[in-house]
Structure 1
Amino acid sequence: MRYIFLFILSVAAGVAGCQSTDALDDVFTDKLTELDASGRPLPVSRASSHAYAQSRGDTAAFQGVSQRGTGSFVAPAAVSPGKTAKGGDGYSLNLVDASISIAAKSVLGDVLGLNYTVDPRVSGKVTLQTTTPVSKEALIDIFESAISMNGAVITKRNGSYQIVPASEAFASTPELASSSGLGGPGIKIQAVELNYVSASEMKNILTPISRQGSIVRTDDTRNILTIAGTSDDLSSMRSAISVFDVDWMKGQSVALHPLKASQATSVSKELAAIFSTQDGPGANVIRFVPNERLNAVLIITSRPQYLDRAAAWIRQLDRLASTNEERLFVYNIQNRPAKELAQVLQSVLSGRNATRSSGNEPVAPDLQPASFVSDVSESVDGDAGKSDPFDKKNAKTSIVADVENNALLISTSAREYEHVERLLRQLDVLPTQVMIEAVIAEVTLNDELKFGLRWFFENGNFSVGFSDLASGGAGASFPGLGWSYATNDLRVTLNALSSITNVNVVSAPTLMALNNQKAVLQIGDQVPIVSRQSQSTDNNGSPVINSVEMKDTGVILTVVPRINTSGKVMLDIQQEVSDVVRTTSSGIDSPTIQQRKVSTRVVVSDNESVALGGLIQQRNDLVRTQVPILGDIPLIGNAFKNKTDQIRKTELIIFIKPRIVRDVREARDVTEEFRRQLDFSSDIKKRRGGSNKTEQDAKRLVY
C-alpha cells in the first residue's frame, strides 16, 4: 500500500513540475524526505490555499501542498519614477543590501545624471526603500544619510562629485552655499550671521546636537558662525540657530533695586550664595550685578518669578544692614525739657560703657551737659552676653539736646536707636502735677495758749481730730520745739484758733508743681547786708570799704513733691519767715535779719493737710506814753505818764495741703474750683479782739 502511495505522489509531482518553477521541486523533495522518515501523512501546508481530499479508509492520507507565485519573472527596478503626494515628479527607491557603488549609480547617475566617482576606500552596503515617491531633494538627503552610516560623504571637486571617507571631507575646499541654495548633494559650507546671541555662545549650544566637525569657525568680531555639512545638516543647524538666536533681552527679566544702608557688592555676593548661582541649581538662571555708582543691585533672570523673590531678599538684607549703619535720628520731646532728658540718657548709657561728654552749658542743678557720645556695644534693655554680629565702631551713640525745638538729635545705628527710642517713650510721659495750698499763720499765745499750740491740741478742749506724724516730725531751727500733725479740715482748725486768740495770716499761697520738681514761693524784699568791711593799713584815715550783699527776706516757701504709686505724697518742705530789725548787738550799721525757719520731709495723703508748728517767738515791748506838757513837769510829771512793759509771744504755724493732678481733666477741675474761691468769701469766724487787718488777712485763705 505504501508503494502505491509513493507512485501516485511521484506522478503528481511530475505533473506539477510541468506547471511550476524549480522551487516547487525543492518543496516536494523536502516533503517526501520528511514523509519517508516518519511514515505519516503530511500536514496541510500553510502556504497552500486548499488541501487535497484524504483517501477513504486511510487515517494518515496525504493532504497535498500549494504555493502561489508573483507572476513576475523580472527583478523590479532599483529606482522607479512616480508622483509625490503633492503631485510633483518623484521617485521610489527599492535597493536592498546594495553596495554603495550600485546605489550611487542608481541615484546619482541614473536619476540625477551627475558625474561622480567612488573612492576605493569606501565600502559597505545600504538599503534604500520608500513606500511612496519622493522628490529629488529628498532622494539626495536619503542617499547621503545612508552612506553616512558607512562613514562616507559626498564632496564636489572640479565640477564632479566624489564619494570619499568622512575623514577626507575637507581635503579640498567645500562648496560655499547661500541660505537660499542648499540643494544638491555634497558637503557645503555656510556662514550664518547671528543677531542676538554671540557666535561663541551659539557654538556651545550647537556642539552637543550637531555632527562632529559641523561647526567650522566662530567670528566674534562680526558675530558670524561658519557651519559645514550636507544640505540636510545645514538645514537642521539653521533651524536650531533660529530657535536660540532670539532677542534674549526680551525674554530676560531685569530689575534694578537701590540700597539704603547696604553696599551693592556685599549684597550681590550674599544673593549669589542664597540663589546658588555659582555651582548650584540657580547657575546661569539668575545673575546679580552690583552697581557701585548708584549703590544698587541689578537682577537679570530668565524666570520672571525670581524677581519677586530676589527683591524680597534685597529688602530683608538692606533692612538688617540699616540696623548697623550710623544714622541721624530726631526725637521730638513732648513732656520734658530736652536737656534734662538727654542727661538721663547719658546716665543710662554711660553706666554701661565709657562715655565722653562735650558741652559746658548747665542744664539744671546737679545735672551735666546734654551733648555726649557713648561707645555702646549692648542694647539699652540689657542684652548683655548676646553676640553682636556688627562691628563695635558702628555702635557709637551720640545725643545732642536741641533746646530751641525741645528735641533730641541722636546719631546711632537703627538697631541701637530702637532700644533708645523705647527708653525715651517710657521717660517722655506726661508728668503728674501737685497743687500745693499753704497757709502761713502767726498765732498769738495768750493765757489759754501759754504752753503752745501742741499742748492745746492734745490736752485742751478741742474737738478737731489730728493725727500725729511722729515718725516724720519736723526738724525745726530750734531743736525740741518742732511738731507736725495731719488734719482733714483746715478751715475748722483756723476757726477754732481765731475764737480764742489773734491769728495773723502771714501768707496763703497756692502753687502748682511738677512731680519731683522744686517749687519756690517768695514774698518779701531784698535787704542790703554788710557782709565784710576792709580798711587799708598803709594810710591812716583811709576809708572803710564795706562789702554788701543782698539778702532775701519775707516769706520763702520751697516745696518738692514726690508722688508714689500708692497715692501718697512725700513733701520736702523748707519754710522761712524773716523780718528786718535794727541791729543792737554790734556797731555795724547793718540791719539784723530775724528768721523763723523750718525744714522737714513729711508723707501726706492726697488732699490731706499737714500742720507744722513749734516756732515760738518772744518780743519784749516797752511802751511809754504821757500827757503833752503835763508829763514834762518835774516831780509831778510822772502822774501824767504811762509806762507799759509787755512780753508778747507768737507761734508760727504752717498748713500745707497737696492735691494730686493726674491729667488735664483734673487740672481743669482744680482751676474751676480755685476760680470759685476768688470771690474772697470766707467762713472764718471773727476773732476775739481781731483787727480789720487781721480779718482781711483771714479772707485771703484759699481752701
Structure 2
Amino acid sequence: MIDTSPRALRTSVFCLATAVALGGCGSFPDHLDPDDALLHEAMQGTGSQRPPVDPASESPAADSRQAQAPTPPQRQLIRGNQQFVRQPAPAPAVKDEASGDIVFNFADQPIEAVINSVMGDLLHENYSIAQGVKGNVSFSTSKPVSKQQALSILETLLSWTDNAMIRQGQRYVILPANQAVAGKLVPEMSVSQPSSGLSARLFPLRYISATEMQKLLKPFARENAFLLVDPARNVLSLAGTPDELANYQDTIDTFDVDWLKGMSVGVFGLQRASVAELMPELQKMFGPDSGMPLAGMVRFLPIERTNSVVAISSQPQYLSEVGDWIHTIDEGGGNERQMYVYDVRNMKATDLAKYLRQIYGTGAIKDDAPAKVAPGLRTATLSSLNTSGGTSGGLNNSSNSPPVSDDEDQAPAASEDGENAEPGAAKSLDAGTRITAQKSSNQLLVRTRPVQWKEIESAIKRLDNPPLQVQIETRILEVKLTGELDLGVQWYLGRLAGNSTSTTVANTPGSQGALGGGGAGLGADSLFYSFVSSNLQVALHALETNGRTQVLSAPSLVVMNNQPAQIQVGDNIPISQTTVNTGNADSTLSSVEYVQTGVILDVVPRINPGGLVYMDIQQQVSDAENQTTNSSDTPNNPRISTRSVSTQVAVQSGQTVLLGGLIKQDNAESVSAVPYLGKIPGLRWLFGNTSKSKDRTELIVLITPRVITSSGQARQVTDDYRQQMQLLRPAN
C-alpha cells in the first residue's frame, strides 16, 4: 500500500505494537504415540473454530488454524521520484559566428609578446602587465577568427601559464593568477552578458548544502576556483572566466535538486522481535561495513517507541526487499508455540504424521517389520479331518499368529534412542514441538512455533496431494500359429510393416530382444515387445475375427500411482504336499497347497508429471491337466503348464504396448486299429493307423495405460463403462 499523506504515516506508525522475546531450539522426540494432552487441548477449543469442508472441493487447500492468530505487522512505503540530478537543458543552437580575418601562429613565444600582439596590435585595448607574468605558449588557428574570439583565446593562453586578466575600469590588467582575486574582484550574481576577463560570482543553493556541493563541483573546477563556501547562507563563490563560470552554473543546476523528494521511505512494524535486536542484524547486511554491494544504499532509523524501523533508500525496489528481510528476521523473534489443526484430504493422517517424524526426527527411516510371534510361542496350522481321512488346507488355513493392530498411531517412525540415525540426515525441531494425528477425523495436530509451522505446512502441502490414478486396459490373446502366422506374430506384424521377407524374421520393428526371465529358454529373439500403431491394431483385430485368435481375458482396472494391482481369472488347483498316516486305518493327515492358475496379471504403475507411465509387469498364463489316479487310488498332482513374462516398460498415456513371443507347442499322437487284429505283432501297421499332430500357439498381451489426473476424468471413465454395458442390454 502506498500512501504519502503525513496523517496516514503517523497513523501507521502509531499502530505498530507487540514485541516478544526470541525463542530457542532443542531436540525433537521420535515416537508417534498419541499425545493425550495435545488432543485434549484441541478438543477444548484452542484456536479458532474450523470451517466446514466442502466435499466437492478438489484443491488441496491447507485449512490450518492457530490459537489467537496475531495481527500481522503493518508496512508502509512512500516511493520517491528517484530524481537526484536535474536533466540538462537542451543546448542552444549554435549561431554562426561572423567570419574574421585574424590568424594566430605562435611558436614558443613569451606570453608578454602574445599579450602585446593581441591587446595592443590587434584589439587596441588599454592594458597593463604586472610583474611576475611569465611563460611561453605555442598556439595556431586553422581558420581566421574574430576579435571577440581572439580575446577568449588570450584568456585561455593566460590560464595555461597560471596568469589571469581582470578588468579595472577602462583597462585590462594581466597579472599572476594567485594575485588576481584578493582585493581586486567583487563577487556578483549571474548576469546575462558577463564581461571579459577573470571575475567572481555567487551561486546560491536551494536543496543541497554548500559543503556537499563543493565536494561534487571540485573535480570539475580549477584548483583556485573556490573563493567562498558559506554553509550558513548556503552559497558558493567561484572565480573564473565567463566560459568557466557558465560551466560551473550548469554543474550546480544539475546537482541542486530536491533530494528528499527523490528518496523512498519505508516504515516496517515489528511483531515479535524488538528494534534493539533487529538493528545489529540489519547493519550486518546493509550497513557501510557489511562488505555487500548494497552497503550504504539503505539507511535505517530505529523508532523504539512504536517498535518499528524506518528505512530510507534512493531505490524504492530495495525497500520491498528490505521489508521481506525484516519480516523474515521478525518471524524468528520470540514467537510462542501455538496449536495448528490441519485437515488431511488425500491420505491418512497417521501416515502423514509418521512421514513428518521421519523428516524432522532424529532416527533413521525404517520399513515396517514383519509380524512375529510372541517369545515362547510358535505358529500352528488349523485343519479339519474330512470323511475320507484327509485334511484340507490352503486358502482357508489360519494360524495363531498374534493379531496385528491397525492403530498406526502406535507405530513409531524412528527408534527412541536414535541408534540408527545418520548425522545430518534429518532436521530436528525444538523439543516443544509436538505432532499427533486424530484418526477418527483424519486431522493432524501440530503444536509448534509459527516460524517452524511454515516449514512443516510446506512439507504437508507437498505430501497431501491428490494421488494420480491410471486406467490399465489389458487384452490377453492366444494366437494359433498356422498359415501365414506359422513363423509367429512377431514375423507377421513385421511383414505387414514391410520389414520382413518370407525367408527371414530379422529386422522386426519394435523387437527389443528377450525381456525378463520368461524368454530365456526361447532364444534371443523369441520374446519381444512393440509399441502398437493404429495399422497394427487393425491387423490384430483382423486376427480376432478370422477365428485363429482367442481372447483369453480382457480385464480393465483403475489403480493408484505406485500401488500394485493384480488381475486373476482362473482356478486355485489343490496340490498335495505331504501325507502322514496317523495310525488309524480310516484317516490320514494331508497337507495341501493351492496354486493359482489361469490368467494372472500383476502391474505396478509409476506416473511421471509428463504423462509417461512406467510399469512393472508380471504376466502369467497357466493351465492344469486333468488329475489321474495311481494304482492305490491316490490322486496324483496335475501337471501345470505356465507361460510367464516379467518386464518393465515405459509407455506414454494412451499408447498401447504389445508383449509377445510366448510360444507353446502341444504334440499329440493318436492310434486307431481293428479290434484284436491291430494287436498282432508285425501286423499292427496293416490293421491300424497312427497319426501325430502338432499345435503351436503364441500368447500376446496388449496393455494400454491412461493417466487419470482429475475427478472429471475418473467420472468420464465410469460413464464410458456404463455406456458400454447399456449396449449389451437386450432389446425390448
TM-score category (smaller protein):
0.3 to 0.5
Report 1 or 2 for greater relative contact order, CA contacts < 8 Å, sequence distance ≥ 6.
Answer: 2
Larger radius of gyration: 1
